[in-house]
Amino acid sequence: MLTQLSNQCRQDILKMINKAKAGHPGGSLSCIDILTYLYTKEIKLTKENVSSINRDRLVLSKGHAAPALYAILHNIGIIDSYETFRQINSDLQGHPNMNDTPGVDMSTGSLGQGISCAVGMAIGNKILENGHKVYALLGDGECEEGQVYEALMAASHYQLNNLIAILDYNGLQIDGAIGDVMNPAPFKDKFIAFGWTVIEINGHDFQEIKDAVQLAKTSEKPTMIIAHTVKGKGVSFMENKAGWHGKAPSDEELEKALKELQGGCNYE
């Protein structure tokens, strides 16, 4: 079920970016399996609880992956359509806006700020003693921002074991390999040094995602799940190509990609 759902989300991601003629397919395809699991198995978002404060929340710190967020929100029935993605006056802008879009728990886009917001939300939950979790999804290129580490330091200082962050580690950003642009590695050593529990997984394996989240729930510290992913996952000509970070597929490329996805090509 999860594989089928994420596969459908992949198709929807490409359709909305193609229609808008703008967007970020590569990083949306790399993180959609993570979002699919979290929204269906952990947050369990529904139309009935979408406006409630009494639930777990997710901050898409890598806000440019909004197509992935909109795709899963559409497929679980929170938003009716993604046809207006990136159109003027649409409630589905290129980066998530919590004031306009149901299911968006934090407005993001300026890299580094999302994880800081997640820390604040987790502190609030601690004060209220409500037991809710806060999930945050970061990009690996995003971790070149110094603000990320201020947030990590604060989370450790305040012992935010209700905060579970996931790093979409696909190794590429808009200008190329993260190691060539401004190398933020080694991630594991850095996160441990900042006082976090660290778990490494295959970010496209639902069982590993599930096991990591369950283990994170038992930690007495904030947890960082380093999810090794493939940029453009599921589409052969997009995989591991930095050029697909922020490029819309043409009609011909869309048709080719959909045929691959519908046939299960290159994706398990």
Give the full edge-to-edge strand order of the sheet including 57-60: 57-60, 134-139, 163-169, 223-228, 197-202
Q: Quick check: 63 pLDDT over 50?
A: yes
Q: Quick check: 265 pLDDT over 70?
A: no
pLDDT tens by residue, 142-159: 999 999 999 999 999 999
Number of helices and strands in the chain (H, E) = 9, 7
Three-state DSSP at 170 gives coil
Higher per-residue pLDDT: 161 or 268: 161
Whether the CA torsion 161, 164, 165, 166 is positive or negative: it is positive
Q: What is the pLDDT of residue 119?
A: 98
- Looking at domain 2-262, what is its CATH homologous superfamily? Thiamin diphosphate (ThDP)-binding fold, Pyr/PP domains (3.40.50.970)
Q: What is the pLDDT of residue 267?
A: 47
- Range 131-139 average pLDDT: 98
The structure's pTM equals: 0.96
- Range 115-128 average pLDDT: 98
Sequence-distant (6+) residues with CB within 8 A of 207 are none
Domain ranges of the chain: 2-262
Give 264's pLDDT tier (boundaries 50, 70, 90): low
Q: Quick check: 266 pLDDT over 50?
A: no
pLDDT tens by residue, 84-94: 999 999 999 99
- Range 5-26 average pLDDT: 98
Give 263's pLDDT tier (boundaries 50, 70, 90): confident
Q: Quick check: 140 pLDDT over 70?
A: yes
- For residue 9, give both structure tokens: 């989300």
